[in-house]
């Protein structure tokens, strides 16, 4: 493909700054159409972002002959159906995370990609951001010795919307999201650790709802092992006091430790017997820019993308294993 002409299905908040504008900034890439079920909002988005065409039906966008690649940015319950429809129409797909509601839906998407030969990518952009690449470099160069353990702590205060059913979003509706805030946020963490240490091969979890604001889990603990032998533990809670919030990942090796945040973008701390070093980084204006650049590069046969359907599906498997007892799956 010489020019990638994108259509976005689901031009909601995530596309306003994180991803949408990047499709027009990357070389050989153009945004030519957007879709949202609310026609008025679709038209408004197109006007504000200078997009030539808009639709209120995703299948109409997929059928547009000018569109030759599709970004699916809807909630997870329609990721699989839209992605499969686009691939069957011969159009590569870049889909938001988590890849789908369940591992089974991910497998269905991958099967269609393999059957049709159409590429499938997933928006785990941390695999391309400077701070996370620095962590990977520090691990691989051996400055902390042999990696032994990784610990995740993500504790967030409950939001005002979470406390009132009429204000809650799809993020706390498992029929749409697959789970609760754990599915939305821990997916980034597990995908990145997959990038560092390879696939998780064993995982056990405990999921509970302790605050009672909504149906899905609000407190989760897990232990896991990667194929490289690194072991991990994690604690997630989305109903703590504001003062108790924490967003930390620690990687401990035989010669030191790396500490960083998944969501705060505050830099990377390296601790060894030589002392403590802090590394700072600047992200692109559109946080998905570098990953979209990789997607376009692969479609133009100029490189490879580090976030594929196959890698993203592994994260869905881990998420599902952690909460399966809670949902009786």
Q: How large is the average pLDDT for residues 236-249?
A: 96
The pLDDT value recorded for residue 95 is: 98
Of 3.30.360.10, 3.30.70.260, 1.20.120.420, 3.40.190.10, which CATH number belongs to 130-282? 3.30.360.10
The pLDDT value recorded for residue 159 is: 78
Distance CA 126, CA 247 (A): 15
In this predicted model, which residue has the larger pLDDT, 219 or 329?
A: 219
Cβ count near 202 (within 10 Å): 11
Percent of the chain with pLDDT over 90: 94
Confidence of residue 2 (pLDDT cuts 50, 70, 90): confident
Residue 168 has pLDDT above 90, yes or no: no
pLDDT tens readout for residues 262-306: 999 889 999 999 999 999 999 999 999 999 999 999 999 999 999
pLDDT tens readout for residues 185-199: 999 999 999 999 999
Distance CA 193, CA 198 (A): 7
Ranges of each domain in the chain: 4-123+287-307, 130-282
The pLDDT value recorded for residue 265 is: 86
Distance CA 77, CA 58 (A): 14
Q: How large is the average pLDDT for residues 206-227?
A: 96
The pLDDT value recorded for residue 163 is: 67
Output the DSSP codes for 127-188: GGSHHHHHHHHHHHHTTT-SEEEEEEEEEEEPPTGGGSGGG--GGG-HHHHSSSHHHHHHHH
Residue 164 has pLDDT above 70, yes or no: no
Distance CA 248, CA 267 (A): 11
pLDDT tens readout for residues 70-95: 999 999 999 999 999 999 999 999 99
Q: How large is the average pLDDT for residues 105-115?
A: 98
Confidence of residue 162 (pLDDT cuts 50, 70, 90): confident
CA atoms within 13 A on the CB side of 233: 5
Identify the residue whose tokens are 């988005």.
45
Residue 8 has pLDDT above 80, yes or no: yes
Confidence of residue 328 (pLDDT cuts 50, 70, 90): very high
Nearest to 177 by CA among 74, 306, 33, 43: 74
223 sits in which H/E element? strand 219-226
Question: Please, are residues 10 and 74 in contact by the beta-carbon 8 Å criterion?
Answer: yes
Q: Phi, psi (5° rounding) for residue 38?
A: -85, 105
Q: Phi, psi (5° rounding) for residue 122?
A: -130, 145
The pLDDT value recorded for residue 1 is: 77
The pLDDT value recorded for residue 161 is: 66
The pLDDT value recorded for residue 32 is: 98
Q: Is the link from the previous residue into 98 a cis peptide, with omega within 30 of 0?
A: yes
The pLDDT value recorded for residue 158 is: 85
Distance CA 286, CA 273 (A): 37
The pLDDT value recorded for residue 160 is: 62
Stated pTM of the model: 0.96
Strand partners of residue 208: 219
Cβ count near 228 (within 10 Å): 12
CATH 3.40.50.720 assigned to domain 4-123+287-307? The reply is yes
90's CB contacts (< 8 A; 6+ apart) are 116, 118
Confidence of residue 111 (pLDDT cuts 50, 70, 90): very high
Q: How large is the average pLDDT for residues 8-14?
A: 96
């Amino acid at each position: 493909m010489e020019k990638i002409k994108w259509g976005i299905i689901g031009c909601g908040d995530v596309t306003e700054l994180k991803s949408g504008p990047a499709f027009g900034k990357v070389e050989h890439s153009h945004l030519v159409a957007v879709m949202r079920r609310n026609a008025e909002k679709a038209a408004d988005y197109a006007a504000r972002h200078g997009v030539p065409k808009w639709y209120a039906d995703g299948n109409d966008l997929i059928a547009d002959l000018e569109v030759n690649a599709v970004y699916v940015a809807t909630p997870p319950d329609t990721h699989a159906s839209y992605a499969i429809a686009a691939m069957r129409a011969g159009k590569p797909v870049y889909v938001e995370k988590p890849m789908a509601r369940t591992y089974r839906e991910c497998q269905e998407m991958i099967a269609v990609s393999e059957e049709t030969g159409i590429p499938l990518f997933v928006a785990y952009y941390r695999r391309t951001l400077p701070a996370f690449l620095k962590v990977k470099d520090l691990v691989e160069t051996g400055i902390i010795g042999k990696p032994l353990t990784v610990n995740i702590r993500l504790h967030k205060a409950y939001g005002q919307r979470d406390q009132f059913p009429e204000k809650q979003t799809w993020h706390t509706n498992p029929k749409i999201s697959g789970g609760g805030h754990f599915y939305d946020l821990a997916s980034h963490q597990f995908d990145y650790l997959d990038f560092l240490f390879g696939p998780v091969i064993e995982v056990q979890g405990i999921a509970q709802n302790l605050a009672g604001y909504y149906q899905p889990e609000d407190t989760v603990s897990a232990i896991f092992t990667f194929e490289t032998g690194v072991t991990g533990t994690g604690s997630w809670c989305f109903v703590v006091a504001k003062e108790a919030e924490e967003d930390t990942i620690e990687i401990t090796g035989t010669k030191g430790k790396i500490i960083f945040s998944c969501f705060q973008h505050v830099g990377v701390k390296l601790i060894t017997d030589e002392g403590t070093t802090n590394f700072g980084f600047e992200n692109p204006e559109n946080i998905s820019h570098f990953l979209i650049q990789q997607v376009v590069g692969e479609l133009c046969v100029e490189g490879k993308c580090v976030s594929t359907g196959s890698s993203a599906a592994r994260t869905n498997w881990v998420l599902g294993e952690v909460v399966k007892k809670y949902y009786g799956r």
